[in-house]
Amino acid sequence: MLCVADGDGRNSVWLARQGLRVDAFDISDVGVGRARQLAAEAQVSVDYSVADCDQWPWPTARYDAVVAIFVQFADPAMRERLFAHMAAALKPGGVLVLQGYTPRQLEYKTGGPPILSHLYTPEMIRSAFADLQIIELRDYEAVLTEGTQHHGLSALLGLVARKP
């Protein structure tokens, strides 16, 4: 399993606690250091790398799952490359899990980028992952309490898709 732009490792460590083999990367060496510490405290193993989304050596058809939670730092051009890499990294039958904010999030100001072009719409996601089988695509609101960066009522989009 791969965790994309995993920051401080909250997602990768949780997944490793479930007994999964996890690779993760992030651009921040400070974040990856914190992630390594969190994994050590949890007594789990995660293979961490420091790299940005364009530098990371994306393997083809390697992962049973790719998880990308709030990776909305990417402008439209980078997002296109990132999404293509994520889909290509999945094995046939592999699952993609993506979570992000929708444009309505600009009204809430409870996390995420304040840049419209970085936010997700269902149409954008359907188009970006047209080669995957969409299992679930939800556009919804929920209250988040995930640290200072994601806190309060939020406009969210969640995707679960499978590579044929």
CATH number at residue 130: 3.40.50.150
User: So what's the pLDDT on residue 146?
Assistant: 78
Q: Mark whether 157 and 131 lie in a shared domain.
A: yes
What pLDDT digit, counting tens, does each position of 4-17 carry?
999 999 999 999 99
- Strands (DSSP E) found in the chain: 2-3, 22-26, 46-50, 63-69, 90-101, 133-146, 150-162
Q: What pLDDT shows up at residue 131? A: 97
Dihedral pair phi/psi, residue 66, rounded to 5°: -125, 130
Rg (CA), the chain: 15
- Indicate if the alpha-carbon torsion angle 132, 77, 62, 101 is positive or negative: negative
Q: Where are the alpha helices (DSSP H) in 6-148?
A: 10-17, 29-42, 76-89, 105-108, 122-128
Number of domains in the chain: 2
pLDDT at 147: 67
CA 57 to chain centre: 17
CB 29 within 8 A of CB 50: yes
> Strands 46-50, 63-69: parallel, antiparallel or unpaired by DSSP?
unpaired
99-140 pLDDT, tens digit per residue, is: 999 999 999 989 889 999 999 999 999 999 999 999 999 999
Domain final residue, candidates 10, 34, 57: 57
DSSP label of 116: G
For residues 8 and 38, state if they share a domain: yes
The verdict on pTM exceeding 0.85 is yes
Q: In terms of domains, do 50 and 79 share one?
A: no
Beta-carbon contacts of residue 85 (< 8 Å; ≥ 6 apart): 53, 58
* CA atoms of 55 and 87, how far apart (whole Å): 17
Same domain membership, residue 86 and residue 156: yes
pLDDT given for residue 137 in this prediction:
98
- On whether both 77 and 151 belong to a single domain, the answer is yes
Range of the domain at 114: 66-164
Q: Is 119 found in the same domain as 41?
A: no
pLDDT in tens, 51-97: 999 999 999 999 999 999 999 999 999 999 999 999 999 999 999 99
